[in-house]
Every structure is written in C-alpha cells, then in structure tokens.
C-alpha cells in the first residue's frame, strides 16, 4: 500500500460578526434563553429581570480531511452462460470445449477480471468533542493562514486547543475509506490524504443571570452564520498551554495506532510522514 500525506495547514476563519453585533443579538434573545421545556414556556422572565453577566469570544477547532483511495487488481471469476437453443450440447470457445448442462441449459467458463476502482471523500471533525460534523459550509468563509499556532492569540479571544489531534482524525478517515479487496493479485493500492486542515471558527458566548430566580444560562452565537444555540458553557480564561505545530500534527503517532498483523501499513505510513515533512 502506497500512502501519501498532503500539506498540513492551519487557518482562522474570519468572523462575520464582531462582539458588538453579537452582543446585540444576545441582548435581543435574553428572555428566551430560559425558555427550555414546558416549565420555561410557562415561566418566562421579564426583560428587566435578566442581565448579561459575562461574555467571551473564542475560536474552536475542527479538522477538514480530504482523502482519495485507488485500487487496481485482478480476480478470477466463474461465469455462467445461458444457452437458449435446446439442441446445443457443447460449446467451443478458442479451442476449448464447454459442456452444456441440461437443467438449467447453460455452461460455465473461468475468466480473470481486471479491475480499477477509486473513491474520494472529505470529512470534518469537531476537534473538541471528536465527532464528525456537517460543517462544509464553514469552508466557504474567508480565512487567513496561521503559521505558528503557539503564537495564535487574537486580541480579547480565547483559543480552544484541539483535543483531537491529526493522527486521530486521519485514523478515522482511513477507517472509513479503506476496505478489504477481493483480489487474486493487487497491482496498485494507493491512499492519498490530500488535505489535512485545522480550522478555528469564531464563537461568541454570553452568560445570563435571572437574579430573582437565582438562575443562569449560556447562549452561544456562531461568529460566521449568527446562529444561536443554548445550553453551552463559558471558558472564562485562556488555557495556559503552549501548543506547537508538531503536537497538533502528530502524524508519527498514526503509525503506532495503525498496527495491523501481516501488514506493512506502519512502514508505509512512516515513510509518508517523512516525505510530507520534507
């Protein structure tokens, strides 16, 4: 199996909303964040009873992986050929006789199928919760390249570091894409991980207090689409953790996690990592 790895890239998605616009949205929605469930509908606070007690802008990471697989192989097959004329007893093809059976009226012939097939797909994973997401629309927004993630710190924002590293994301993709091939002889088996991209998307979080009831709630606003979700959390402070490019793109760990008995995929992956670094 030949494995190649594409360039590893990191991007910041540029927000469509700034904090001021997000706060306006949050203020307009302050009476609805406590309205979950039947009890919330029956007991909605008055606008003057709810205040925004805390707000933050943070950048949350997700992975975008594009992978292609290609197979070229031969396999032997036995073909059943129906014979329509009832009087036919034997068929000769290229000097070889094939006996026709009575019921059903047919004969069989061995052949070799020469096969080529491939597939291409892209996957997006929430790098915080290690879950696959349908976030392809995020890729359409403007972005800027991050050269050094250790120095990526937009003013007034929290950068959430990925819990899911590159090796885990690529390992899941390979699990989806690779499959057993029924072949007598394999001529080519190639895996091309064309893109390994880490994106940081802007999210605005607001904490509300309903003083008279002693309740708090959190609403999050997508900095790209403006969509609001409730039930989230606030981080309140920057996590003091230096994250390097090598730590995020820990592709060397992928080899150890792909150990398969009787397979040289570990060696192939190690070579692919070295080649990608070069």
Do residues 168 and 36 touch, judged by C-beta distance below 8 A? Answer: no
- The domain of 46 spans 2-74+114-277
Decide if 184 is inside a domain: yes
Q: What is the DSSP string of 48-104?
A: GGEEEEEEEEEEEEEEEEEEEEEEEEEEEEEEEEE---TT--EEEETTEEEEPBTTT
Decide if 42 is inside a domain: yes
Q: Is pLDDT at 8 greater than 90 in this prediction? A: no
Structure-token pair, residue 148:
């050094």
Q: What is the mean pLDDT of residues 144-170?
A: 89
Mean pLDDT of the chain: 85
With H, G, I as helix, E, B as strand and everything else as coil, classify residue 88: coil
Decide if 154 is inside a domain: yes
Decide if 106 is inside a domain: no
Predicted local confidence at residue 242, as pLDDT? 58
Decide if 91 is inside a domain: no
- Count how many domains the chain has: 1
What is the value of pTM for the model shown?
Answer: 0.81
Q: What is the mean pLDDT of residues 27-56?
A: 77
Decide if 266 is inside a domain: yes
d(CA 249, CA 166) in angstroms, rounded, equals 5
Decide if 104 is inside a domain: no
Decide if 262 is inside a domain: yes
User: Confidence band (pLDDT; 50, 70, 90) for 123?
Assistant: very high
User: Confidence band (pLDDT; 50, 70, 90) for 82?
Assistant: very high
Nearest C-alpha neighbor of 216 from the set 225, 226, 206? 206
Q: What is the DSSP string of 190-244?
A: EEEEEEEEEEEEEEEEEEEEEGGGTEEEEEEEETTT--EEES-----S-------
DSSP category for residue 136: G
Q: Which residues contact 11 (CB under 8 A, 6 or more apart)?
A: 143, 144, 145, 146, 197, 198, 199, 200
């Amino acid at each position: 199996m030949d494995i190649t790895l594409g360039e590893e890239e990191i991007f910041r998605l540029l927000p469509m909303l700034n904090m001021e616009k997000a706060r306006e949205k949050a203020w307009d929605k302050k009476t609805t964040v406590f309205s979950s469930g039947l009890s919330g509908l029956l007991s909605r606070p008055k606008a003057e009873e709810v205040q925004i007690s805390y707000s933050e802008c943070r950048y949350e990471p997700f992975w975008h992986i594009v992978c292609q697989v290609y197979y070229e192989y031969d396999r032997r097959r036995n073909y059943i050929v129906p014979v329509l004329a009832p009087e036919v007893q034997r068929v000769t093809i290229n000097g070889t006789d094939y006996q026709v059976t009575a019921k059903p009226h047919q004969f069989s012939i061995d052949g070799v199928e020469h096969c080529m097939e491939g597939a291409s797909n892209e996957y997006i994973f929430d790098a915080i919760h290690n879950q696959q997401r349908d976030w392809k629309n995020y890729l359409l927004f403007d972005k800027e390249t991050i050269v050094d993630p250790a120095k990526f710190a937009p003013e007034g924002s929290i950068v959430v570091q990925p819990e899911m590293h590159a090796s885990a994301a690529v390992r899941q993709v390979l699990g989806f894409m690779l499959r057993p091939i029924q072949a007598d002889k394999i001529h080519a088996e190639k895996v091309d991980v064309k893109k390994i991209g880490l994106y940081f998307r802007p999210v605005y979080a607001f904490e509300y207090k309903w003083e008279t009831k002693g309740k708090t709630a959190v609403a999050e606003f997508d900095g790209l689409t403006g969509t609001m979700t409730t039930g989230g959390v606030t981080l309140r402070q920057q996590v003091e953790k230096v994250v390097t490019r090598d730590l995020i793109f820990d592709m060397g760990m992928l080899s150890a996690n792909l150990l398969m008995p009787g397979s040289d995929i570990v060696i192939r992956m190690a070579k692919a990592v070295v080649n990608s670094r070069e």
